[in-house]
Amino acid sequence: MDYIYKLEMRVRDYEVDAEGIVNNAVYLHYMEHTRHEFCREAGLSFRAMHEQGIDPVATRIEVDYKQPLGLGDAFVSCLNIKRKGPLFVFYQDIYKADGTLSAQGVVKIATLENGRLTRGDSLAAAFAAYL
């Protein structure tokens, strides 16, 4: 699959459980960090968005775990984005350094502007090159 954004990372010691594999909840952190970095590189830091009254919020997250990551593993977190009505849907995959799929996620994001749910047109304009 072709992705619009990729971020390389490495598993840190505090992210693994007693079995030496990445705890399932940590994958959500990896995916969130990837979305934040994507937004920042697209010119939309979360701090700047919030200061403008724009707050993207997750409404649903689904993750399928395929092959676990372990301590010290290098991996790449990838994403694509689509717009479905007022929602932005991020398709996020995490691959081990050898190309093995580790996890697949689908994250749905709604947009609040000044505390009110909107269609997300301000974000759509910022993401126009990627949608």
Which residues are catalytic, by number? 17
- Residue 120 domain boundaries: 5-126
Could you tell me if residue 99 is inside a domain? yes
Q: CB–CB of 34/92 below 8 Å? A: yes
pLDDT tens sequence across 60-73: 999 999 999 999 99
Q: Which of 57, 43, 1 is nearest to 129 (CA)?
A: 43
Q: Could you tell me the CATH number of the domain that includes residue 39?
A: 3.10.129.10
pTM of structure: 0.92
pLDDT reading at 1 higher than 80 = no
- Structural domain contains residue 118: yes
Residue 85 lies in a domain: yes
The domain total for the chain is 1
131 inside domain: no
Q: Would you tell me how many other CB atoms lie within 10 Å of the CB of residue 16?
A: 19
Residue 95, by phi and psi: left (phi above 0), alpha (psi -120 to 50) or beta? beta
Instruction: Find, among 78, 90, 96, 103, the residue nearest to 1 by Cα.
Output: 78
Amino acid letter, 50: H
pLDDT over 80 at 53, yes or no: yes
